[in-house]
A and B are shown apart, each in its own frame.
Chain A
Amino acid sequence: MTTYQFFTTAWTWNSIVLILSALAAVGYFLTFGQRGRPLYFGAALVVFLLVFISPFSALANGYLFSAHMLQHILLVLIVPALLLLSLPQSFSLRPPLTYLSYPLIGWVAGVGAMWLWHAPALCNAATTSRAVSAIQTTSLLLMGSVFWWQVLAPREAQRLSPPAGIVYLFTACTACSVLGMILTFAPVSICPVYQHPVDRLGMLSTIRGNWGLTSDRDQQIGGLLMWVPMCLIYVTAILAQLARWHSSPAPQTEKSNA
Chain B
Amino acid sequence: MNGTTTIAEFRDAILDPAKRAHYRLAWISTVDHKRIAVLYMLTALFFFVVGGVEALFIRLQLAVPNNHFLHPDTFNQLFTMHGTTMIFLVVMPVVFGLANYVLPLQIGARDMAFPRLNAFGFWCVPFGGILLHFSVLAGGAPAVGWFSYAPLSETPYSSSPGADYWAVALFVLGIGSISFAINTIATVISLRGPGMTMRRLPLFTWINFVNAFIVIFALPVLNAGLAMLLIDRQLQGHFFLPFRGGSPVLWQHIFWAFGHPEVYIMALPAFAIVSEIIPVFSRKPIFGYEFVAASSVAIAVLSLGVWGHHMFTVGMGRPLDVFFAISSMLIAIPTGVKVLNWTATMLGGRIRFDVPMLFCIAFLIQFLVAGITGISHAVVPLDWQTKNSYFLIAHFHFVAVGAIVFAVLGGIQYWFPKMSGRMLSETLGKWTFWLMVAGFNMTFIIQHFLGLLGMPRRVFTYPDLPHWGWMNMLSTTGVFFMSAAALILVWNLATSFFRGKVAGDNPWNAWTLEWATTSPPPHENFIALPPIRSRRPLWDIANPDRPDPIVGENSAAVTLPDHNKVGILTFILSEAGFFGTLLLAYLYFYARPEAGPGPKELDVPRTLVFSICLFASSFTFWRSEVGLTKQRRGSMLGWLALTILLGGVFLVGQVNEYWKLFQTGVDLSTNMFSTTFFTLTGFHGLHVLLGLIALLIFLWVAWEGDFASGRGSAFKAAGYYWHFVDVVWVFVLLTVYILPLIR
Q: Does A185 contact B (CB under 8 A)?
A: yes
Chain B residue at smallest Cβ distance from A234:
B301
- Which residues of chain A in 207-248 are interfacial with respect to chain B, using CB atoms and an 8 Å cutoff? 217, 220-221, 224, 227-229, 231-232, 235, 238-239, 242-243, 245-246
B250 → chain A closest CB, angstroms: 9
A114 → chain B closest CB, angstroms: 16
Q: Does B290 contact A (CB under 8 A)?
A: yes
Quick one: given A170-B301, A239-B294, are A254 and B560 in contact (CB under 8 Å)? yes
Q: Does A5 contact B (CB under 8 A)?
A: no
Q: Does A182 contact B (CB under 8 A)?
A: yes
Quick one: given A235-B301, A246-B294, are A257 and B189 in contact (CB under 8 Å)? yes
Chain A residue at smallest Cβ distance from B592:
A187
Within 8 Å CB of B185, what residues of A? 257
Contact: B293 with A181, CB < 8 Å? no
Q: Does A178 contact B (CB under 8 A)?
A: yes
Within 8 Å CB of B553, what residues of A? 249-252
Contact: B198 with A256, CB < 8 Å? no
Within 8 Å CB of B552, what residues of A? 249, 251-252
Question: How many interface residues does B have (CB within 8 Å)?
Answer: 41
* Bound Cα distance A251, B318 (Å): 49
Q: Does A97 contact B (CB under 8 A)?
A: no
Interface bits A176-208 vs B (CB < 8 Å: 1, else 0): 011001101111100000000000000000000
Chain B residue at smallest Cβ distance from A255:
B561
Within 8 Å CB of B587, what residues of A? 182
* Bound Cα distance A172, B43 (Å): 39
Chain B residue at smallest Cβ distance from A188:
B591
Chain B residue at smallest Cβ distance from A256:
B561
Within 8 Å CB of B320, what residues of A? 184, 220, 224
Give which listed residue, A181, A224, A243, A256, contacts B584 with CB less than 8 A: A181
* Bound Cα distance A257, B189 (Å): 8
Contact: B584 with A182, CB < 8 Å? yes
Chain A residue at smallest Cβ distance from B562:
A256
Contact: B588 with A185, CB < 8 Å? yes
Q: Does A36 contact B (CB under 8 A)?
A: no
Within 8 Å CB of B302, what residues of A? 235
Q: Does A123 contact B (CB under 8 A)?
A: no
Give which listed residue, B197, B297, B323, contacts A166 with CB less than 8 A: B297
Give which listed residue, B298, B573, B580, B588, contacts A239 with CB less than 8 A: B298
Contact: A227 with B591, CB < 8 Å? no
B720 → chain A closest CB, angstroms: 9
Q: Does A173 contact B (CB under 8 A)?
A: yes
Contact: B305 with A217, CB < 8 Å? no
Contact: B293 with A242, CB < 8 Å? yes
Q: Does A131 contact B (CB under 8 A)?
A: no
Contact: B298 with A235, CB < 8 Å? yes
Give which listed residue, B197, B317, B324, B327, contacts A252 with CB less than 8 A: B197
Q: Does B369 contact A (CB under 8 A)?
A: no
Contact: A256 with B580, CB < 8 Å? no
Segment among B136-144, B264-272, B563-571 that sits at the interface with chain A: B563-571
B61 → chain A closest CB, angstroms: 40
Most chain B beta-carbon contacts within 10 A, residue among A185, A220, A255: A185
Q: Does A16 contact B (CB under 8 A)?
A: no
A137 → chain B closest CB, angstroms: 25
* Bound Cα distance A102, B318 (Å): 42
* Bound Cα distance A227, B304 (Å): 11
Within 8 Å CB of A88, what residues of B? none
* Bound Cα distance A224, B327 (Å): 11
Count A-B contacts at CB 8 Å: 92
Q: Does A30 contact B (CB under 8 A)?
A: no
- Which residues of chain B in 549-565 are interfacial with respect to chain A, using CB atoms and an 8 Å cutoff? 552-553, 555, 558-561, 565
Q: Does B315 contact A (CB under 8 A)?
A: no
Give which listed residue, A184, A221, A256, contacts B565 with CB less than 8 A: A256
Interface bits B311-330 vs A (CB < 8 Å: 1, else 0): 00000011110011011001
Contact: B323 with A186, CB < 8 Å? no
Contact: A238 with B199, CB < 8 Å? no
Quick one: given A170-B301, A231-B305, A249-B552, are A257 and B566 in contact (CB under 8 Å)? yes
Q: Does A55 contact B (CB under 8 A)?
A: no
Within 8 Å CB of B570, what residues of A? 257-258
Contact: B326 with A228, CB < 8 Å? yes
Contact: A258 with B297, CB < 8 Å? no
* Bound Cα distance A249, B555 (Å): 12
Most chain B beta-carbon contacts within 10 A, residue among A166, A188, A243, A251: A251
Within 8 Å CB of A251, what residues of B? 552-553, 555
Quick one: given A178-B584, A217-B318, are A252 and B298 in contact (CB under 8 Å)? no
Within 8 Å CB of B565, what residues of A? 256
Contact: B591 with A252, CB < 8 Å? no
Contact: A254 with B319, CB < 8 Å? no
Quick one: given A187-B592, A231-B305, A235-B301, are A258 and B573 in contact (CB under 8 Å)? yes
Most chain A beta-carbon contacts within 10 A, residue among B290, B320, B559, B570: B320
Quick one: given A166-B297, A257-B566, are A252 and B189 in contact (CB under 8 Å)? no
B326 → chain A closest CB, angstroms: 7
Within 8 Å CB of A170, what residues of B? 301
Within 8 Å CB of A154, what residues of B? none
Within 8 Å CB of B560, what residues of A? 254
- Which residues of chain A in 98-126 are interfacial with respect to chain B, using CB atoms and an 8 Å cutoff? none
* Bound Cα distance A186, B330 (Å): 26
* Bound Cα distance A218, B167 (Å): 37
* Bound Cα distance A224, B317 (Å): 12
Give which listed residue, A224, A243, A249, contacts B323 with CB less than 8 A: A224
Give which listed residue, B189, B197, B305, B561, contacts A227 with CB less than 8 A: B305
Within 8 Å CB of A229, what residues of B? 323
- Which residues of chain B in 687-738 are interfacial with respect to chain A, using CB atoms and an 8 Å cutoff? none
A110 → chain B closest CB, angstroms: 17
Within 8 Å CB of B566, what residues of A? 256-258
Most chain B beta-carbon contacts within 10 A, residue among A177, A182, A228: A228
A-B contact pairs, 13 of them (CB 8 A): A187-B592, A217-B317, A217-B319, A221-B319, A224-B320, A228-B324, A228-B327, A235-B301, A238-B298, A242-B294, A252-B558, A254-B561, A257-B566
8 A-B pairs with the lowest CB-CB distances in the bound complex, closest first: A258-B569, A256-B561, A242-B294, A246-B290, A224-B323, A251-B555, A220-B319, A251-B553
Q: A235-B301, A251-B555 provided; 15 other pairs, C-beta below 8 A?
A: A163-B198, A178-B584, A184-B320, A186-B591, A188-B591, A224-B323, A227-B305, A228-B323, A232-B327, A235-B298, A239-B298, A246-B293, A256-B566, A257-B570, A258-B572
CB within 8 Å of A: which residues of B? 185, 189, 197-199, 290, 293-294, 297-298, 301-302, 305, 317-320, 323-324, 326-327, 330, 552-553, 555, 558-561, 565-566, 569-570, 572-573, 580, 584, 587-588, 591-592
